[in-house]
C-alpha cells in the first residue's frame, strides 16, 4: 500500500510540472490537505510519499524540488537555478527594502499584532512610510483594530513573509538568545568626507520559496 501511495503521489505532483507559476517557482496545491482524502490515506503516509519524492528529485539532480511552506507544499525551482529562472522573466526586478523598513519589519514580526504607535515607540521615529512600503510589498497586513482610544490599526506579517524567510510558522524565527550568537559582519571603514550609502535588503526569493502579495492599507488610517 505504501509503495502505491508513493507512486500515486509522485504521479500527481509531476502532472503539474509543465504548468509555470509566477516568479521562480512551479506551484502545487497543499498536498496533505487535498491528496489524503482522494487516496484514503493518512497525512503521515502522504508526507512519507513526499519525502520519497524529494529524495527522488535529489538523486536525479532535478532543477526543482518539493518544499513545505506555511500552508502546504510547493513544487519550486531549486535555488541554484534562480539566475536562470530570472533570465526567463527579465521584467521582474528584485525588490529592495531600506534598513529602516527592515527594522520596522522586524519589530512587527516579533511584536505582532502591533500598532504604528507601538512600532514608533521602539524606533523613536515616524514609521508611516515604512509600514506603507511593507504593505505594498505584501510582507505586512492589517490584522484588525486595537481596543484603544481611536481604534488604531493593528499590523502583522503575511504568508509571503514566512515564505521569504523560509519558515513555516513565526515560532521558527530565531529568538533573542540565538540572535545574540550571530556574528555580524564588520562595517567597512568610512573615508573622511564620504557619505555612507543607505543599507538595503534585496527581496529576492529565499531558497525554493515563492511569495505572494497582500492588499495595501487605506490611506486614511489612525496610528
Average pLDDT (74-91) is 81
Task: Assign 76 to helix, strand or coil.
Answer: strand
Give the model's pLDDT for residue 202.
53
- Kindly indicate the confidence band of residue 67, based on its pLDDT and cuts at 50, 70 and 90: confident
- Kindly indicate the confidence band of residue 157, based on its pLDDT and cuts at 50, 70 and 90: very high
Residue 188 grid cell: 567597512
Average pLDDT (144-163) is 93
- pLDDT at residue 6 above 60? no
Boundaries of every domain in the chain: 2-88, 96-180+198-202
Regarding predicted confidence, which is higher, 73 or 92? 73
- Kindly indicate the confidence band of residue 3, based on its pLDDT and cuts at 50, 70 and 90: low
Residue 23 grid cell: 516568479
* Helices and strands per DSSP (H, E), number in the chain: 9, 6
- pLDDT at residue 215 above 80? no
The matching CATH number, chosen from 3.40.50.150, 1.10.3720.10, 1.10.150.20, 1.10.10.10, for 2-88 is 1.10.10.10
Domain boundaries 96-180+198-202, CATH class: mainly alpha
Regarding predicted confidence, which is higher, 19 or 30? 30
CA distance 165 to 161: 6
Domains 2-88 and 96-180+198-202 share a fold: yes
Closest CA to 164 of 138, 185, 143: 138
Contact 30, 72 (CB under 8 A): yes
User: Lowest mean pLDDT: which of 47-51, 147-151, 191-195?
Assistant: 191-195
Task: Determine if the pTM surpasses 0.75.
Answer: no
CA distance 79 to 27: 15
Contacts of 11 (CB under 8 A, 6+ apart): none
CA distance 6 to 49: 4
Contacts of 102 (CB under 8 A, 6+ apart): 199, 201
Beta strands at 200-202 and 72-77: parallel, antiparallel or unpaired: unpaired
- pLDDT at residue 39 above 70? no
Give the model's pLDDT for residue 125.
93
- pLDDT at residue 216 above 70? no
- Cβ atoms < 10 Å from Cβ of 125: 12
Q: Torsion-angle region of residue 110: left (phi > 0), alpha (psi -120 to 50) or beta?
A: alpha
- The string of pLDDT tens digits covering residues 193-214 is 655 555 455 555 444 444 444 4
Amino acid at each position: 500500500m505504501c509503495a502505491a501511495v508513493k507512486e500515486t503521489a509522485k504521479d500527481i505532483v509531476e502532472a503539474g510540472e509543465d504548468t509555470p507559476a509566477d516568479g521562480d517557482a512551479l506551484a502545487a496545491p497543499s498536498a496533505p490537505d487535498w491528496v489524503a482524502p482522494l487516496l484514503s490515506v493518512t497525512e503521515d503516509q502522504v508526507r512519507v510519499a513526499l519525502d520519497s519524492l524529494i529524495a527522488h528529485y535529489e538523486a536525479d539532480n532535478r532543477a526543482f524540488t518539493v518544499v513545505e511552506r506555511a500552508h502546504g507544499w510547493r513544487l519550486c525551482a531549486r535555488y541554484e537555478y534562480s539566475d536562470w529562472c530570472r533570465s526567463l522573466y527579465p521584467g521582474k526586478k528584485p525588490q529592495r527594502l531600506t534598513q529602516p523598513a527592515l527594522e520596522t519589519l522586524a519589530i512587527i514580526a516579533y511584536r505582532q499584532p502591533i500598532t504604528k504607535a507601538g512600532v514608533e515607540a521602539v524606533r523613536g521615529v515616524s514609521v508611516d512610510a515604512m509600514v506603507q512600503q511593507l504593505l505594498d510589498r505584501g510582507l505586512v497586513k492589517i490584522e484588525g483594530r486595537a481596543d484603544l482610544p481611536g481604534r488604531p490599526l493593528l499590523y502583522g506579517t503575511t504568508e509571503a513573509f514566512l515564505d521569504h524567510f523560509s519558515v513555516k510558522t513565526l515560532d521558527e524565527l530565531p529568538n533573542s538568545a540565538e540572535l545574540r550568537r550571530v556574528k555580524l559582519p564588520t562595517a567597512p571603514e568610512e573615508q573622511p568626507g564620504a557619505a555612507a550609502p543607505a543599507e538595503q535588503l534585496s527581496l529576492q526569493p529565499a531558497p525554493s520559496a515563492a511569495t505572494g502579495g497582500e492588499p495595501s492599507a487605506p490611506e486614511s488610517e489612525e496610528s
